[in-house]
Amino acid sequence: MAHINLILASDDAGRAEDQVDEALAGLLAADGPNLAPAGRRQVDASLTELAWIDDVDPRNHVSLMLDTDMPAHWLAVTAHDEATLQQIAQALRDGVELRGYGELLNEAGSGAGGRGALSRLALTHDSRLASDFPALLKHALSSADALRREDAVMAAHLVGDRSHVPALKEALTRETDGGVKAMLEHTIQTLEGAPP
C-alpha cells in the first residue's frame, strides 16, 4: 500500500469537496480508478472524514479530512501501488487548491501560519522533514505562546520520531501550562514506545 497526504490551501470544506469530486471524475474520464463518493463520518468531536472509494479496488481511496481543532484540512490518499497513488495524487494536484511544502515550511518557521502551522507541515510526511523539523520543533517549544507550544507537541506526535524525545523532555521541565504539559507527557510516552 502507498499513502500520501496533500494539505488544502483553503478551509472552505464545501468548495474542497466540490473540487475533489471534479478532480476524481476527471480521473475516471482518463481511464483511471473510479473513486466514487462513499459518505461522511464524524471521527470525533473535531474531525470529519469525507471518503471516495474505488468501486473496483477498495484499497484505492481518498479521504478529505476536516480537523477543526488543529485546524487543518487535508486529503489522505491511499492506493494499492505507487503508480496508482501518483495517478490519483496528480489528478488532485491538478484540480484542488493545495499548499506546497515550501509554503507550509515558511508558515511554520515564521509563525505566520497561525494555530496548527507546524502540525500541517508534519502532516505532509515529506522526506525533507527529517532535516527541517528538529529546529522548528525546538523553536516552537520555546515560544511564549501556549498554542504554539501545543502545536509543536502535536506535530512531534504526528512525525512520530523518537529522536525528538529529548527536546520534548527538556520542554516538559519548563512547561507551565497544564494542558500543554499533559500533551508533552503523553507524546513522550508514545514516542518512547515507538520503534527506533
> 26 and 78: one domain?
yes
At which of 68, 95, 122 does a domain end? Answer: 95
54-104 tens-digit pLDDT:
999 999 999 999 999 989 999 999 999 999 999 999 999 999 999 999 999
> 160 and 188: one domain?
yes
* CA 177, 181, 187, 192 torsion-angle sign: positive
Query: What's the CA gap between 58 and 70, in Å, rounded?
Result: 29
> 87 and 150: one domain?
no
Which range marks the domain in which residue 36 is found?
Answer: 2-95
Phi, psi of 114 (to 5 degrees): 75, -165
In this prediction the pTM is 0.92
Grid cell of 17 as nine digits: 469537496
> 66 and 147: one domain?
no
At which of 70, 95, 120 does a domain end? Answer: 95
At which of 95, 118, 143 does a domain end? Answer: 95
Residue 73 is part of a domain; what is its CATH number?
A: 3.60.90
130-163 tens-digit pLDDT:
999 999 999 999 999 999 999 999 999 999 999 9
Q: Please report which residue ranges of 30-164 form alpha helices under DSSP H.
A: 82-95, 101-110, 117-123, 129-141, 146-159
> 90 and 125: one domain?
no
> 81 and 152: one domain?
no
Q: Which amino acid is at 32?
A: G
Angle, vertex CA 152, rays to CA 93 and CA 130, nearest 5? 60
> 63 and 88: one domain?
yes
Query: What's the CA gap between 71 and 62, in Å, rounded?
Result: 19
- 3-state secondary structure at position 180: helix
Query: What's the CA gap between 100 and 93, in Å, rounded?
Result: 10
